[in-house]
Structure 1
Amino acid sequence: MTAAREDVEGLQERFDVLLPHLNEGQRRLALATEARLLGHGGVRTVARIAGVSETTVRKGVFELESGQAPLSEGRVRRVGGGRKPADEVDPQLLAALLGLVEPDERGDPESPLRWTTKSLRHLAEELTRQGHPVSAPTVGKLLRDNGFSMQANAKTLEGRQHPDRDGQFRYINDQVKEHLGAGEPVISVDSKKKQQLGRLPNGGREWRPQGEPIEVEDHSFFFTGPDVAQAIPYGVYDLAADAGWVNVGVDHDTSAFAVASIRRWWHNRGCLDYPRASKLLITADAGGSNSYRYRLWKAELAALAAETGLAITVCHFPPGTSKWNKIEHRLFSQITMNWRGRPLTSHEVVVNTIASTRTRTGLRVHAELDTGDYPTGIAVNTEQFQALPIHPHSWHGSWNYTIAPTGATASEPVQDRDRARTEVLELLTDPRVIGMTRVELDELSAQLAPGQAARAAQRRWEQRGGRRRHAPGAGGRRLLCDAAGVLITIVYLRQLCSQNVLSELLEVNPNSIGEIIAETRALLDEHDHRVTPATQLRFTSATAVRAFLHDRSEPGPTPPPSELLSEPALTGMPRQKLHHLIERLAPRQAAVTERYRHTRRGGERMPGARGGVFVEKITDADRVLATVLLHRKLCTRGTLAELFGVSRGTIPNAALLVSPLLEQDGTTITPAPTRFRTAAELLAAIPRSDTNTADSPP
């Protein structure tokens, strides 16, 4: 009995030490071995001591006596053990799952999950609804086994590619190699995303004491709009020196600001790093403030070339490929990582954060604050632009061009532009131009001033989405005051010149001119003030306006086209008969025109629509006259469009409306015996005498 008790105590001790280190199969075989050594009753004894089922011990004995080969390394059970995979139990499960998660162009177009987040839980619920009960973990395993994984969007599509995209890349690469090989500076420029200042959330995280995150605003409704302080970083990246220069502006991201940033880089760093430089290569994208389409960008670069004596070559990346510009991933990406998780509360924070940007490869960045004014809307007229020393390259001259320092004139400072604009506005107050005295103009401006201020306040409220957060005047400087807006609106409504002519006179963008005229015209209508069109004055160029305002005889104003083209020798009828014809057709023409516009817009005019804010370049009387001349076959439609100063499509559109009215009126137009090839020939054929000898048809 003592020996048996000692054997049992020895088993207990061995089991306590050994069994915790064995897996399921190894424990079963170890217990079976001890049971066989004990002989009869060993299974029950071992099961009692180890605290397991007798069936488990007996199963181990059977495994030892069967003589099966040991399991392969890493396996606990033989192949075939456990439940069968879900896709074997339900053969249709995998096909149903792939039909839900395959890309939209291959999957079921009627799938309920086509427009829903395809989470494992949603997929499991939909499969269960279709008669394939399955759990979310099983769905994940099936997806992984079939080559699926969680993936984010890949920003690789560049939209419609220009056919010369790759050729432009190679050309830029050749230009960079040529300039770097000659020791000349090569810079990559661009404007970084505008940053609103304040305690606003910034993407990313940074190390801070646990439980003490930086508190920021949860809504940014009042941190947008024209009155909110902002920072506009414009970067200059030196490819050879691996150095960055960032000019942080506070006003507007204009072409003048872009070139001013390059100028500051050159005077503070470029001229020191490249004292013998004679050329400068700039690589830039195709849009933004350094767009290849902007005249002001090229005019400011011409001024910089004249100032520094450098021949400035500019190579623009094709549209839609700005991410290939070196500054994007060499400078701007490093700045973004450096200020991650940090609210940009002031200009000082922005400048210091940018200036502290470093990389292990040697990048160093310098940043400065630029508090200068760079107003929007500045335009460069055709005469000034044509005088610039710009030499397009043989390969895509619009994208690649060189601006020579010789012959270029320095760009006018902002103060000089303002002074010149003020002088032009003063000249436009001539009573011959505006049809009223200076006192009457001042009274009208004072009358409209409250309405202009109210509309401006409403516009800014809508832009910022709420109340003002900063003091009045915190926004950018305006090029034209309210009184100037009234003046140019009167000049335009008197039909003295086009918006493009006003743009060249004032060096203001035509879009800005159009917005001012639209808003001021609405105020004039509210005050029931009517502006009478001029009958004897019509200017087609800024030069003609200046000449007239300075009392010069040439080139002077030109009479309206209707006065010249209504000559009986051209129309085939006396002027009085033409006048009566226009009077008869006027009411019917207005009705037909309104019916035509109603059909085009598909119903009544929407509330708040412009309703004809701008005066049309061709009147109803001119439409009748143009149709008569077209039926006379004096010249082509293009020549008539040139004579009336309208687009080529306006003349046939006018004839489409007026021709049926002429037939209803019973008026027959006989073709002219002579056909003129150009507008100059037609005007030369008009009799110049005042004897009215042409009062009868030729």
Structure 2
Amino acid sequence: MTDMADSVARRYAVMRPHLTEFQRRLWLGAEAAELGSGGVAIVAEATGVAADTVRRGRKEAGNGKAPSPGRSRRPGGGRKRAEAHDKGLVESFESLIDPVTRGDPMSPLRWTSKSIRALTAALRGKGHQVSDMVTRRLLREGGYSLQAGAKTIEGNQHADRDAQFQYLNDQAADHLDARDPVISVDTKKKELVGAYKNAGREWRPSGEPEQVKVHDFVDPVLGKANPYGVYDVGANTGWVSVGTDHDTAAFAVNTIATWWHEVGKPMYPNASRLMISADGGGFNGYRTRLWKTELAKFAAATDLTITVCHLPPGTSKWNKIEHRLFSHISMNWRGRPLTSHEVIVETIAATTTSTGLTVLAELDQAEYPKGVKIPDKEMKALETQGILMRHEFHGEWNYTLTPAPDDTPEPS
């Protein structure tokens, strides 16, 4: 008897992974029928399957009837769901979810701030015998999913937002058609310099992560890096100056001037105009006086006519430099500690894309003091002398700076 049971057990171990539930019952039933009297008990003991299941398999094998295609059990067979014998489960589940549901309750996709473990514990506290698997299924069938926040709310939309984008596009097209450069400028997020954790991951030998500091306190010697970028829309090239002092309009314009002398002028030797697309706020915003006076100096020094078009309020993430340059720099240095200013400059300069983006970078250690005030008289002089000319359409956002006449004193 023992040898017979061992033989059945060995055959079942081989066949079981390759059979469906219905096929396994048939096989067990056929083995029991082959063994004759006492066969059901022998097969049940050898395989660990309930004797009733073996008897049912023997009966199904004898009458030749099979379940519907694609089924292993007859309709209604199998273990019943928890809510079938616990009528109040779904109602209790919804009562736990509703107070913390986020988003539109009529939407097919909802989410909750409670974890599966917390929901399961709460349901058990109400007397429902459920597992994490049941809670997960109730969430899924209720239309819930794990979701992160999406940055889509831009604040109050200006009535002329779309019109400003169209105006900016027309100005850019006019410059590009004349082979005059169009650049998008902005400042990138300040970065801690030192052995600090940087977001993202990079490939390293298994079990050898980069060792970084536990706390993100600013190193008093290394400080922070202030990257300011220039993206050439027509040439798909970038320039980044990594500053070590303050973020100011003087630093921004000096970056543009450096880009012009190092890259722009050799690339556009016959250009007489330059268009700049910039955010509406920050130290290169349309309200910043130092930004305009520094650009006036730049125009006078280079004999360039500079047209500036600012993005309308609340649309800074639409600036081309954000997704054409800065995003690729962030991906290039992901998971890598920015241990020095030189490492930052080299990593930025190594950024490339499959579409041909190339980037140049330099370290700018000049001092740019904060709090520089431009008096009303100086700003008014720029306009009365024809250096700063505001456009008819939203002159606060769109303006042109022309080279100052020889007899015009340079703005202080």
Give the TM-score normalised by structure 2.
0.86
**Would you say 1:167 and 2:151 are equivalent positions?**
no
Which of 280, 283, 304 is the aligned partner of 2:277?
283
- Alpha-carbon separation, structure 2, partners of 1:197 and 1:173: 37
Q: Which deviations, in whole Å up to 9, do the C-alpha atoms of 1:312-365 show, x marking residues without a partner?
A: 110101122110000001111111111111222221111111111111111100
Which of 24, 29, 33 is the aligned partner of 2:26?
29
Q: Which deviations, in whole Å up to 9, do the C-alpha atoms of 1:582-629 show, x marking residues without a partner?
A: xxxxxxxxxxxxxxxxxxxxxxxxxxxxxxxxxxxxxxxxxxxxxxxx
Return the offset for 1:195: 1.9
Return the offset for 1:59: 1.9
Alignment of 1:456-605 (within 5 A): none
Residue correspondences, number: 393
**Would you say 1:184 and 2:194 are equivalent positions?**
no
- Alpha-carbon separation, structure 2, partners of 1:155 and 1:175: 29
- Alpha-carbon separation, structure 2, partners of 1:358 and 1:177: 25
Q: Give the secondary structure class of the aligned counterpart of 1:219.
A: coil
- Alpha-carbon separation, structure 2, partners of 1:275 and 1:304: 17
Contact 2:181 2:232 in 1 (8 A): yes
Contact 2:181 2:268 in 1 (8 A): yes
**Would you say 1:152 and 2:148 are equivalent positions?**
yes
Contact 2:5 2:42 in 1 (8 A): no
Contact 1:314 1:401 in 2 (8 A): yes
Which residue pairs with 1:546 in the alignment? Answer: none
Contact 2:67 2:74 in 1 (8 A): no
Q: Give the secondary structure class of the aligned counterpart of 1:387.
A: helix
> Residues 47 and 170 of structure 1: is their aligned pair in 2 closer, same or farther, counting only changes over 3 Å?
same
> Residues 407 and 127 of structure 1: is their aligned pair in 2 closer, same or farther, counting only changes over 3 Å?
farther
Return the offset for 1:220: 2.7
Q: Which has the higher strand share?
A: 2
**Would you say 1:68 and 2:62 are equivalent positions?**
no
Which residue pairs with 1:59 in the alignment? Answer: 56
Return the offset for 1:274: 0.8
Return the offset for 1:19: 5.5
Q: Give the secondary structure class of the aligned counterpart of 2:38.
A: helix
Alignment of 1:30-179 (within 5 A): 30-33=27-30, 36=33, 42-45=36-39, 47-48=41-42, 51-52=46-47, 55-66=52-63, 68-73=65-70, 75-102=71-98, 103-104=101-102, 117-179=113-175
- Alpha-carbon separation, structure 2, partners of 1:230 and 1:196: 5
Which residue pairs with 2:244 in the alignment? Answer: 250
> Residues 119 and 404 of structure 1: is their aligned pair in 2 closer, same or farther, counting only changes over 3 Å?
same
Which of 361, 369, 379 is the aligned partner of 1:367?
361
Which residue pairs with 1:402 in the alignment? Answer: 400
Return the offset for 1:369: 1.1
Q: Which deviations, in whole Å up to 9, do the C-alpha atoms of 1:563-584 show, x marking residues without a partner?
A: xxxxxxxxxxxxxxxxxxxxxx
- Alpha-carbon separation, structure 2, partners of 1:104 and 1:142: 17
- Alpha-carbon separation, structure 2, partners of 1:298 and 1:96: 63
- Alpha-carbon separation, structure 2, partners of 1:13 and 1:87: 39
Which residue pairs with 1:347 in the alignment? Answer: 341
Which residue pairs with 1:578 in the alignment? Answer: none
Using CA pairs below 8 Å that are at least 6 residues apart, which structure has the higher relative contact order? 2
Contact 1:300 1:411 in 2 (8 A): no
- Paired letter, 1:403: L
Q: Give the secondary structure class of the aligned counterpart of 1:159.
A: coil
Return the offset for 1:410: 7.1
Q: Which has the higher helix share?
A: 1
Contact 1:303 1:410 in 2 (8 A): no
Contact 1:196 1:231 in 2 (8 A): yes
> Residues 105 and 207 of structure 1: is their aligned pair in 2 closer, same or farther, counting only changes over 3 Å?
closer
- Paired letter, 1:118: K
**Would you say 1:263 and 2:257 are equivalent positions?**
yes
- Alpha-carbon separation, structure 2, partners of 1:258 and 1:199: 27
- Alpha-carbon separation, structure 2, partners of 1:20 and 1:123: 35
- Alpha-carbon separation, structure 2, partners of 1:17 and 1:339: 52
- Alpha-carbon separation, structure 1, partners of 2:403 and 2:192: 38
Which residue pairs with 1:200 in the alignment? Answer: 196
Which of 232, 235, 238 is the aligned partner of 2:226?
232
Return the offset for 1:25: 2.5
Which residue pairs with 2:380 in the alignment? Answer: 386
Contact 1:186 1:239 in 2 (8 A): yes
Contact 1:250 1:372 in 2 (8 A): yes
- Alpha-carbon separation, structure 2, partners of 1:371 and 1:253: 12
Which residue pairs with 2:108 in the alignment? Answer: none
**Would you say 1:300 and 2:297 are equivalent positions?**
no
Structure 1 unmatched runs, 5+: 1-6, 108-115, 418-698
- Alpha-carbon separation, structure 2, partners of 1:166 and 1:299: 28
Contact 2:245 2:365 in 1 (8 A): yes
- Alpha-carbon separation, structure 2, partners of 1:167 and 1:259: 27
Contact 2:248 2:283 in 1 (8 A): yes
Return the offset for 1:17: 6.0
Q: Which deviations, in whole Å up to 9, do the C-alpha atoms of 1:145-182 show, x marking residues without a partner?
A: 22211111111111122221122112112222221122
Which residue pairs with 1:666 in the alignment? Answer: none
Q: Give the secondary structure class of the aligned counterpart of 1:221.
A: coil
- Paired letter, 1:395: F
- Alpha-carbon separation, structure 2, partners of 1:55 and 1:310: 93
15-24 vs 148-157, greater mean Cα deviation: 15-24
> Residues 47 and 129 of structure 1: is their aligned pair in 2 closer, same or farther, counting only changes over 3 Å?
closer
- Alpha-carbon separation, structure 1, partners of 2:410 and 2:14: 93
> Residues 247 and 15 of structure 1: is their aligned pair in 2 closer, same or farther, counting only changes over 3 Å?
closer
> Residues 32 and 231 of structure 1: is their aligned pair in 2 closer, same or farther, counting only changes over 3 Å?
closer
- Alpha-carbon separation, structure 2, partners of 1:188 and 1:263: 14
Return the offset for 1:101: 3.0
- Paired letter, 1:399: W
> Residues 171 and 94 of structure 1: is their aligned pair in 2 closer, same or farther, counting only changes over 3 Å?
farther
- Alpha-carbon separation, structure 2, partners of 1:12 and 1:246: 72
- Alpha-carbon separation, structure 2, partners of 1:143 and 1:49: 41
Which residue pairs with 1:334 in the alignment? Answer: 328
> Residues 54 and 399 of structure 1: is their aligned pair in 2 closer, same or farther, counting only changes over 3 Å?
closer
Return the offset for 1:66: 4.7
> Residues 163 and 92 of structure 1: is their aligned pair in 2 closer, same or farther, counting only changes over 3 Å?
farther
- Alpha-carbon separation, structure 1, partners of 2:123 and 2:31: 50
Return the offset for 1:91: 3.5
> Residues 12 and 164 of structure 1: is their aligned pair in 2 closer, same or farther, counting only changes over 3 Å?
closer
Contact 2:195 2:339 in 1 (8 A): yes
Give the TM-score normalised by structure 1.
0.52
Which residue pairs with 1:317 in the alignment? Answer: 311
Return the offset for 1:142: 1.0
- Paired letter, 2:403: P
Which residue pairs with 1:593 in the alignment? Answer: none
Structure 2 unmatched runs, 5+: 106-111
Counting aligned pairs with the same residue, the percent is 53
- Alpha-carbon separation, structure 1, partners of 2:188 and 2:16: 67
Return the offset for 1:248: 1.2
Q: Which deviations, in whole Å up to 9, do the C-alpha atoms of 1:422-476 show, x marking residues without a partner?
A: xxxxxxxxxxxxxxxxxxxxxxxxxxxxxxxxxxxxxxxxxxxxxxxxxxxxxxx
